[in-house]
């Protein structure tokens, strides 16, 4: 089983932790950390309150990767 298992979820950004890390919350209230992918380092950073789509592992729901910024 070589394929990486991921799920896509809608989330809202709550605040900025670092230049490439954000606090986020799912609609059910679960909070976690979202990181920007390497290819997104040069892009405009999303603002707190933005609705985004994140990619998460079903095995570790404490962190995710920003896939789509719906505000752009």
| SS3 of the chain | CCCCCCEEEEEEEEEEEECCEEEEEECCCCEEEEECCHHHCCCCCCCCCCEEEEEEECCEEEEEEEEEECCC
CATH no. for residue 59?
2.40.50.140
What pTM was estimated for this model as a whole? 0.82
* pLDDT confidence of residue 39: 67
The three-state secondary structure class of 70 is coil
Domain count, the chain: 1
* pLDDT confidence of residue 45: 82
What are the pLDDT digits (tens) for 10-47? Answer: 999 999 999 889 999 999 999 999 999 766 656 778 88
Residues spanned by the domain of 50: 7-69
């Amino acid at each position: 089983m070589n394929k990486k298992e991921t799920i896509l979820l809608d989330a809202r950004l709550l605040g900025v932790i670092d230049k490439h890390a954000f606090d986020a919350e799912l609609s059910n209230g679960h909070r976690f950390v979202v990181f920007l992918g390497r290819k997104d380092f040069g892009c405009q950073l999303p603002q707190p309150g933005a609705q985004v789509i994140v990619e998460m592992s079903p095995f570790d729901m404490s962190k995710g990767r920003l896939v789509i910024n719906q505000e752009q």
